[in-house]
Structure 1
Amino acid sequence: MKYVIGIDLGTSAVKILLVNQDGEVCQEVSKSYPLIIEKSGYSEQDPEAWVSRTTEGLAELVNNFKGDISEIEGISFSGQMHGLVLLDQNRQVIRNAILWNDTRTTEQCQQIYDVVGKEQLLEITKNPALEGFTLPKLLWVKEYEPNNFVKAKVFMLPKDYLRYRITGNIHMEYSDAAGTLMLNVAKREWSTEILNLFGLSPELCPPLVESHACVGTVSIDFAKSTGLSEATKVFAGGADNACGAIGAGILAEGKTLCSVGTSGVILSYEKRNDLDFDGKVHYFNHSEENTYYTMGVTLAAGYSLSWFKDTFAKEESFDEFLQGVDTVPPGANGLLFTPYLVGERTPHADSNIRASFIGIDASHERKHFARCVLEGITFSLNETIQIFRNNDKKIDSIVSIGGGAKNDIWLQMQADIFDAKIEKLASEQGPGMGAAMLAAFGCGWFSSLKECAENFIQTAKTYYPIKENVETYKKLFTIYQDVYTHTKTLNEQLREFRK
């Protein structure tokens, strides 16, 4: 039997999967590492922590592997997007990595709009200037840490730095490069216009390759540290959302993903590079060659539910907490929740808006609140689906993964609110599986990623919309959309009182 390894470099931990030719996960290892938060809005990590913990995890996996080590043919990666890693002329890390969830760069985002213009930025990069992206971080270092900026000879993204430490070779692939605000997404090349406008050298940008490209083999030193074979092929990998989509089989028109973690994502496959969503959703290169995906984000999706449970029933499990929700009718007896606990991303890029419960009366019990929180999260995700549909995208089949796929009530709710068929996977491994699939395809096990998905991914259960629920939720969704408009000014006025 042959094997591949998928490495998912997340924000809090690295997850490593050993996958065989049948798509079965034979081993799973996870190693955590800390965030570095020096002040409010800052979020950094030491890149060396990624390397050391991944090395430990791979050594543990190899130690427990019973076969011939040469049977592990390839490794690929999924990684947290947007994070800035700077290397000097000796390829040494200059400072801690600034992560995707760092929000210090509001000033630089405005600078980007002032210099490039919003319309031109969307024309080139397909995305608005948001604090999470890489270019604002680079401009922040240029302005506030000029000594570090002068030393910088190349910038990298987190998984690309980890891969460099494994192979000794520097590359970046298109799906992660698309999240830098420096890539011309449609042309699939670094934007000389963006770089020139900000006085950035093209040499700062790594060579671009396909996600399934073989970019080297495991170095002698890394092989000694882990027990892997030096012949093990290393593939470029993809951004976490692109790999999550591959791992869920989102590889054809009409295929859409609903992923609920701390945040929530609606992601849809795109063959074309010229659609115009006016910056309301993200538009990135996919990890499948010459394809794309569009994506909307709810900042506090699963976080809204965990916040509510931990605030009012900390000792209960989620299953206990959600008991009785199935007895509450759609609409929770006139109770609505908007999940804006930490601001919102799609369709409202608003860091100031906050959550609301609307319509509370004395008849409401905890189960009504629990149901309306689930509904509010799903309504927020539905806003992205409506943007897609308003732009003539067909959304009829949605694969649901993450926390939203662990509860039958919530899955049926998604079918009813989205008015679409919802598929639950038999085995869900997220971006790590997508990374493993890129390695499997790169190793030549399959003729395409689609063929790999057909062999690796199975649907366990399908949920269909219930007509009367669909009609009820359409009315409620219209009311839900009004809540943002009516609470925006109130939240601006309340801002000075937040501690």
Structure 2
Amino acid sequence: MNYFIGLDSGGTFMKAALFDGLGHQIAIAKVSAQVVNKQQGWVERDLDALWNDAKTVISKLLSATDVSVEDIKGLSISAQGKGVYLLDKDQKNLRNGIISSDSRSLDIVKKWQADALPETIYPMTLQTLWTGHPVSIIRWLKEHEPENYSQIGSILMAHDYLRFRLTGEVNAELTNISESNFFNANTGGYDPELLALFGIEEVFSALPPIIKPDQLAGYVTSDVANEIGLKAGTPVFGGLFDVVSTAICSGVDANANSLNYVMGTWAVTSGIADAITALDYRYVYGHYVVDGQYIIHEASPTSAGNYEWFVDYLGENGEFNHQENEELVAALEPASSELFFVPFLYGSNMGLGLKAGFYGLQAHHTKAHLIQAIWEGVLFCHNVHLDRMRARFPDAASLRVTGGSTGSKVWMQMLADLTGMSIDIPSIEETGSLGAALVAMVGAKEYPSIEAGLAAMKVDSQRFEPNSAHYDQYQRKYRRYLQLVAFFKEFEEHKDD
């Protein structure tokens, strides 16, 4: 039997999992991912700490199994998209990595929006423009850290950086870099005209060669192998944007009548298409793992991470009692409370600079009402994205949902009742790790394609059907939520009046 490692570098954890060729998880290890917050709106990662996390989880994984490293035929990485992880001109760490939830470039993006730059670039990039994009961060560095800007040697994203540390090879992986705004969707490569529009043309030479997800990127070096216990020369493949990894494992494809929902730190709704369709709304198109296909998605950092933030206030000993919380919410009438929560702790999907908050809180409200409002607010944010995606995928009748929130049956039933759609929960715990391992399997010729690998793995799912009696109730409260956010937006826009 051949074995493969999938490394998953997420916002909360770094995980490494070992799979056999049939997708069975043999072992898993994880460590908490640490972020550095030097100022409000800054979200960074110490690059050596990130690499140490990767080494630690791989070492822990290998020590947790009797599988011989001789039988491990490949490794790949699934990671958060966007952000920047920079090497200098000597291929040394230039500064802390800046991750996608960072908002230091807010004023720059607002200026670009006022100048209609998003409208100018969209026909070339098929991307929106916001603070977590590499181009926004790089422009901020040019204006505020010119010494670092002048020393940029390579512009990487998280999995590119980790792959570099494993192999010594510098590359940019396609599914991630295609959503960077460096990349021209029409030509399929970098575009110096785009960099000039952003005022960062000096870094064009720092954009690395582009590789596909299942393409061989290099081999684990002897020094790294000795340090973490892998065999020197173990193949390392391109990897994936984690949104793509999750879509693969959810089972959505270009012919499916379903969309993928990710409920984690980010709220993500994805669909797969084999063509770019001109519509009034500016959808985000990224290259998919299947040649000739695109992943189309809506996303914002407005999902279950907002619930986890409250653990210190609504939990005990740093943890939630999820069973108790489910029982508390289940005992309440669906969508009957006048209490609202706007889940913008980490960012908004309704305008720049909007903040989180409760509205309607009164003395009679209990812990149960607070949790219910948080869960509803997260679902309402997801529904904003779903409403937009349904225009592009009008035949979608079901949602294939992944993320830690899927463990809550009450929350999943709320989702079904709000959307009126069937909810399918694939029986895959670690979609990031498995997606990465699967592209390594294809790269190592274990399978001829992603589709063939998925078919061999025979993934089951659990289904939740909507309760039509609750649909109108949830939709009424959802419309009220949209009105509330509109008021918040107006308040934010006039804060300097």
- TM-score normalized by the length of structure 2: 0.90
C-alpha contact (below 8 Å) 1:353/1:492 kept by paired residues: no
Closer/same/farther in 2, CA of residues 188 and 457 from structure 1, 3 Å limit: farther
C-alpha contact (below 8 Å) 1:171/1:207 kept by paired residues: yes
Closer/same/farther in 2, CA of residues 363 and 400 from structure 1, 3 Å limit: same
Matched to 1:320, the amino acid is E
Q: Work out which of the residue numbers 303, 306, 325 in structure 2 matches 1:304.
A: 306
Q: CA deviation at 1:471?
A: 3.4
Closer/same/farther in 2, CA of residues 282 and 55 from structure 1, 3 Å limit: same
**Cα RMSD (Å):** 2.6
Which secondary structure state, in structure 2, belongs to the residue aligned with residue 265 of structure 1? Answer: strand
Alignment of 1:92-491 (within 5 A): 92-113=92-113, 117-197=117-197, 198=199, 199-253=201-255, 254-276=257-279, 278-279=281-282, 282-308=284-310, 310-314=312-316, 317-331=321-335, 333-342=336-345, 344-346=347-349, 348-358=350-360, 365-456=366-457, 458-490=459-491
Q: CA deviation at 1:363?
A: 6.9
Q: CA deviation at 1:6?
A: 0.4
- Whole-angstrom distance in 1 between the partners of 2:481 and 2:442: 43
Closer/same/farther in 2, CA of residues 288 and 111 from structure 1, 3 Å limit: farther
Q: CA deviation at 1:49?
A: 1.8
Closer/same/farther in 2, CA of residues 215 and 467 from structure 1, 3 Å limit: same
Which secondary structure state, in structure 1, belongs to the residue aligned with residue 424 of structure 2? Answer: strand
Question: Is the deviation greater in 187-196 or in 133-142?
Answer: 187-196
Matched to 1:478, the amino acid is R
- Whole-angstrom distance in 2 between the partners of 1:145 and 1:154: 16
Closer/same/farther in 2, CA of residues 374 and 340 from structure 1, 3 Å limit: closer
C-alpha contact (below 8 Å) 1:124/1:184 kept by paired residues: yes
C-alpha contact (below 8 Å) 1:342/1:354 kept by paired residues: yes
Counterpart in the other structure of 1:30: 30
Question: Is the deviation greater in 237-246 or in 188-197?
Answer: 188-197
- Whole-angstrom distance in 1 between the partners of 2:258 and 2:298: 15
- Whole-angstrom distance in 1 between the partners of 2:302 and 2:204: 37
C-alpha contact (below 8 Å) 1:16/1:30 kept by paired residues: yes
- Whole-angstrom distance in 1 between the partners of 2:362 and 2:230: 62
Closer/same/farther in 2, CA of residues 33 and 481 from structure 1, 3 Å limit: closer
- Whole-angstrom distance in 1 between the partners of 2:270 and 2:131: 20
Q: CA deviation at 1:79?
A: 1.4
C-alpha contact (below 8 Å) 2:343/2:374 kept by paired residues: no
Question: Is the deviation greater in 25-34 or in 433-442?
Answer: 25-34
Question: Is the deviation greater in 478-487 or in 270-279?
Answer: 270-279
Q: Once the two structures are aligned, what percentage of the paired residues are identical? A: 22
Closer/same/farther in 2, CA of residues 75 and 481 from structure 1, 3 Å limit: same
1:61 and 2:37 correspond: no
Q: CA deviation at 1:345?
A: 3.1
- Whole-angstrom distance in 2 between the partners of 1:35 and 1:408: 31
Closer/same/farther in 2, CA of residues 367 and 149 from structure 1, 3 Å limit: closer
Matched to 2:381, the amino acid is S
Closer/same/farther in 2, CA of residues 192 and 457 from structure 1, 3 Å limit: farther
Deviation string for 1:349-376 (max 9, x for gaps)? 2322433434x67775543443333223
- Structure 1 unmatched runs, 5+: none
Matched to 1:171, the amino acid is N
C-alpha contact (below 8 Å) 2:328/2:368 kept by paired residues: yes
Closer/same/farther in 2, CA of residues 484 and 179 from structure 1, 3 Å limit: same
Q: CA deviation at 1:304?
A: 3.5
Closer/same/farther in 2, CA of residues 200 and 277 from structure 1, 3 Å limit: farther
Closer/same/farther in 2, CA of residues 495 and 244 from structure 1, 3 Å limit: farther
- Whole-angstrom distance in 2 between the partners of 1:82 and 1:298: 12
Matched to 1:372, the amino acid is A
- Whole-angstrom distance in 2 between the partners of 1:327 and 1:127: 43
Which secondary structure state, in structure 2, belongs to the residue aligned with residue 290 of structure 1? Answer: coil
Closer/same/farther in 2, CA of residues 391 and 52 from structure 1, 3 Å limit: closer
Closer/same/farther in 2, CA of residues 305 and 166 from structure 1, 3 Å limit: closer
Q: CA deviation at 1:488?
A: 2.9
- Whole-angstrom distance in 2 between the partners of 1:419 and 1:186: 37
- Structure 2 unmatched runs, 5+: none
Question: Is the deviation greater in 253-262 or in 410-419?
Answer: 253-262
Which secondary structure state, in structure 2, belongs to the residue aligned with residue 181 of structure 1? Answer: coil
Which secondary structure state, in structure 2, belongs to the residue aligned with residue 59 of structure 1? Answer: helix
Q: CA deviation at 1:134?
A: 0.5
Alignment of 1:41-56 (within 5 A): 41-56=41-56
